[in-house]
Structure 1
């Protein structure tokens, strides 16, 4: 079972992606809105927090990704047709070298 979750609140376009992936049975209601929840481990949660410093988790250990990251996650879900995607998605979402200057070539 997952330790943490990413909530993806669905509008018509996002719901169409989930429907095309055959995952309509995974749609749930969160605070009166349709959503899916993508589970992740504590290790994956730590990587996301490093990549997105303003990520906030609620009492249910759930968060919402920023727009572009959420679209990337939806793309991975659409391609794999499963919500068990964090091992693959984390590689696309988390860039440990972001913001670091390249090293000078040593001679």
Structure 2
């Protein structure tokens, strides 16, 4: 079992995307709402927290990504047709240089 997970709560459109990826059997009920849970390791969780400092985790070590990041994650799930995507998705979601000024050109 994963150390952490990303909860992706499903509306009708997101549910259709998950079903189209052949993952309808992975839909669960989280806090009374339909969702899929994307597993991630502790190392991936640390990178996400660096990239999204406001990310909050519940008592079950689950979090919800900001809307734009969640859309990227859903697109990756749709392409790869699995929920085990974090090794790949972390590169798309976590930008270690975000918010850092570019270095001045060396002369």
Smaller-chain TM-score bracket? over 0.9
Q: CA deviation at 1:106?
A: 1.3
In structure 2, the gaps of 5 or more residues are none
TM-score normalised per structure 1: 0.98
Equivalent runs, 1:32-51 vs 2, <5 Å: 32-51=32-51
Q: Which residue of 1 aligns with 2:5?
A: 5
In structure 1, the gaps of 5 or more residues are none
CA RMSD in angstroms, aligned pairs only: 0.5
User: Residue deviations 1:76-106, cap 9 Å, x none?
Assistant: 0000000000011100000000111111111
TM-score normalised per structure 2: 0.98
Q: State how many pairs are aligned.
A: 107
Distance 1:17 1:84 in 2: 16
